[in-house]
Amino acid sequence: MRLLIVDDHPLFREALSSALRLAYPDAVLLEAEGIEAACAVMASERDLDLVLLDLGLQGSTGFEGLLTLRTRAPRVPVLIVSGQDEPRIMREALRHGAAGFVPKAVDKPTLTLAVGTVLSGALYLPPGVSLAPPETIPETVGEGRAHRAKAPLAERVGRLTPQQLRVLMLIRQGKLNKQIAHDLNVGDSTVKAHVSEILRKLEVISRTQIVIETAGLDFERA
């Protein structure tokens, strides 16, 4: 078993590693202090079984880190181990692709239970926190006809391909098409095509609206 711990606090990485070694003495434990380092590990380790990710990493806002890891390795489950403990954030994390969520303050048996649950293929949330059913999409009436309201943000973001998600993250950083093309090593026309698809799938009409609509990814501002 190969587990990757992604956290920018060395003492917590050490504590988490210690707890995991007790539960899984034969596991190979890998560490990364940020999303960039985690992506590097994922590129070299093709047989990861689980990633344990802190949402509060420096240089990563809201669910961006989670989405980045999900685009790099969609089949590797990600268990959030975070100081955030709001049920709303826990539910949103699962809607954005996490396989489970456990607060950092839990004891070792609970952490072991969470890891085992996710490794078995099930979702994990702390007792008392449920994954609410998808929101009902209401219809509003205007100008004499009914209009279908936008789907929830997580559903619209989920329509994007991994490459479109990467373009989205760079748009949120304020980068222009030429800069995005350079960063992703693709042509300008390819970036334009991705932006057009992002606009369509997010149901917006401008780059500014992309940033506004995806503000929900920054859970502290949502």
The pair of structure tokens assigned to 196 is 């057009």
Give the HSE-up count for residue 195: Cα atoms under 13 Å, Cβ half-sphere: 22
Kindly tell me if the per-residue pLDDT of 222 is higher than 70: no
Structural domains of the chain ordered from first start? 2-119 (3.40.50.2300), 150-217 (1.10.10.10)
Can you tell me the distance from the alpha carbon of 176 to that of 80, in angstroms, rounded to the nearest whole number? 31
Residue 220's pLDDT is what? 54
Q: What is the pLDDT of residues 148-198, one digit of tens each?
A: 567 778 788 888 888 888 899 888 888 889 999 999 999 989 999 999 999
Q: What is the pLDDT of residues 121-146, one digit of tens each?
A: 888 988 887 765 444 444 444 444 44
Residue 148's pLDDT is what? 55
Kindly tell me if the per-residue pLDDT of 26 is higher than 90: yes
Residue 91's pLDDT is what? 85
